[in-house]
Amino acid sequence: MTETGKDRNILITGGAGFIGSHVVRRFLKEYPGYHIYNLDVLTYAGNLENLRDVEEYPNYSFLKGDILDEQFLKQIFEKHQFDGVIHLAAESHVDRSITDPLAFVRTNIIGTVNLLNASRDLWKENKNNKRFYHISTDEVYGTLGAEGLFTENTPYDPNSPYSASKASSDHFVRAYGETYGLPYVITNCSNNYGPNHFPEKLIPLFINNIIENKPLPVYGDGKYTRDWLFVKDHAAAIDLVFHKGKDFETYNIGGFNEWQNIDLVKLLCKLMDQKLNREEGTSSKLITYVKDRPGHDLRYAIDAGKINKELGWRPSVTFEEGLELTIDWYLENQEWLDHVTSGNYQEYYEKMYKERNVSQQSISK
């Protein structure tokens, strides 16, 4: 439990990314008494356009910097005397982790330990009302078979370099709690979707490809299952856990919303046909089964009972509502899509999907 009523300096890392930008916006609006510092190095996934509507807020500051830069962290922690850290900065895409695991070791593990050190040192004398909040993923638990759900007690069993790096960072956070008494909370959340999602992940990539009439590369047999949560519901859960969660605890966050990839893609195609005034069945013709992802986890599903019972959190929108909001956002923000898909994106797309034999060309209507 941390106080909301007084002025506090809060550091949010990765605030220019997908989830981070929703968290920054929510905190700026809900807590005008806080000063929000958004620390982000602006990798390909970081985009200040995500925060255009709030960047003039008097209680907002952007700090461009790298969580791998210990000196920089030391300086900003001393200067701004943060009361809380909400840590989202990470390399976040599984496919990239297969191509370049070390980038994930650096940012996700070493970067997290750097932040833990800076927080431990700053709060050494006084831990009262201080909190290190580490944002993690359900992928640390590995994969489920057809049955069962991940709980907070499920043993860690990561399968991808991404999930292994997140699992490692979770262990460091826990260890700093045990060893140095650093007050922390961790949440492990399922797959998010919504506005500002970089189009390398399934839903925004497929929305973009449908708009451009490009193939929709479904990995393997498409029967992999994920639990999807609307990003603003994740931001609401983060707000709640940051303020009302208990120190040294982990909470799972999920959407109560499991979908096999192929069923999700078919629903997306149907909604996109309606939004684009295309004949029903047009977009689903773009579905192309491609070479599978190595080590592909079969199924993720979250038991979010603890956060529900202890803190009263539940998702506020259904999947259909959230998907519609998401599609509308992408169609209304074509300029955002154009900006993020120019330059290096094309290179990434060609490399990643050429390996899977996906044609780069739009399919003529």
The residue ranges that bind ligand TYD (CB under 6 A) are: 94, 191, 201-202, 205, 217-219, 224, 226, 261, 293
73, 13 contact by CB (below 8 A): no
> Which residue number, 18 or 251, has a Cβ lying nearer to ligand NAD?
18
> Which residue number, 67 or 337, has a Cβ lying nearer to ligand NAD?
67
Say how many C-beta atoms besides its own lie within 10 A of residue 294's C-beta.
9
The owner of tokens 């997140």 is 166
Q: Which of 40, 139, 200, 227 does the annotation list as catalytic?
A: 139
Q: Which of 162, 176, 349, 353 does the annotation list as catalytic?
A: 162
Q: For the CB of residue 248, give the shortest distance to ligand TYD in the complex, in Å.
A: 27
Alpha carbon separation from 190 to 167, 199, 213 (Å, rounded)? 14, 18, 29
Strand partners, 87: 13, 134
Is 227 designated active site?
A: no
Is 91 designated active site?
A: no
Q: For the CB of residue 277, give the shortest distance to ligand NAD in the complex, in Å.
A: 30
- If contact means CB under 5 to 8 A according to the sort of partner, which of ligand TYD, ligand NAD, none does residue 50 touch? none
Burial of 196 (0-12, 13-18, 19+ CB in 10 A): buried
Of 222, 217, 187, nearest to 199 by C-alpha is 217
- If contact means CB under 5 to 8 A according to the sort of partner, which of ligand TYD, ligand NAD, none does residue 268 touch? none
The full DSSP string for 266-292 is: HHHHHHHHHHTTPPTTTGGGGEEEEPP
Q: For the CB of residue 314, give the shortest distance to ligand NAD in the complex, in Å.
A: 18
> Which residue number, 51 or 94, has a Cβ lying nearer to ligand TYD?
94
Looking at this protein, which amino acid is placed at residue 314?
R
CA 198, CA 21: separation in Å to the nearest integer? 12
Q: For the CB of residue 85, give the shortest distance to ligand NAD in the complex, in Å.
A: 13
Is 219 designated active site?
A: no
User: E strand or H helix at 197, and its extent?
Assistant: none
- If contact means CB under 5 to 8 A according to the sort of partner, which of ligand TYD, ligand NAD, none does residue 42 touch? ligand NAD
CA 169, CA 39: separation in Å to the nearest integer? 18
Sheet containing 8-13: which strands, arranged edge to edge? 60-64, 34-40, 8-13, 84-87, 131-137, 184-189, 249-253
> Which residue number, 92 or 283, has a Cβ lying nearer to ligand NAD?
92
Total residues belonging to the chain: 365
Q: For the CB of residue 285, give the shortest distance to ligand NAD in the complex, in Å.
A: 28
CA 40, CA 55: separation in Å to the nearest integer? 14
Q: For the CB of residue 324, give the shortest distance to ligand NAD in the complex, in Å.
A: 19
- If contact means CB under 5 to 8 A according to the sort of partner, which of ligand TYD, ligand NAD, none does residue 218 touch? ligand TYD
- If contact means CB under 5 to 8 A according to the sort of partner, which of ligand TYD, ligand NAD, none does residue 219 touch? ligand TYD
> Which residue number, 50 or 190, has a Cβ lying nearer to ligand TYD?
190
Q: For the CB of residue 26, give the shortest distance to ligand NAD in the complex, in Å.
A: 14
Strand partners, 60: 36
| 291 contacts: CB under 8 Å, gap ≥ 6 | 219, 220, 355, 356, 357
Of 154, 194, 143, nearest to 19 by C-alpha is 194
- If contact means CB under 5 to 8 A according to the sort of partner, which of ligand TYD, ligand NAD, none does residue 217 touch? ligand TYD
> Which residue number, 89 or 323, has a Cβ lying nearer to ligand NAD?
89
Q: Which of 138, 170, 200, 258 does the annotation list as catalytic?
A: 138
Q: Interface with ligand NAD by CB under 6 A: which residues?
A: 13-14, 16-20, 40-43, 45-46, 66-68, 88-90, 92, 107, 111, 135, 137, 166, 189, 191-192, 198
- If contact means CB under 5 to 8 A according to the sort of partner, which of ligand TYD, ligand NAD, none does residue 27 touch? none
20, 87 contact by CB (below 8 A): no
Catalytic residues: 138-139, 162
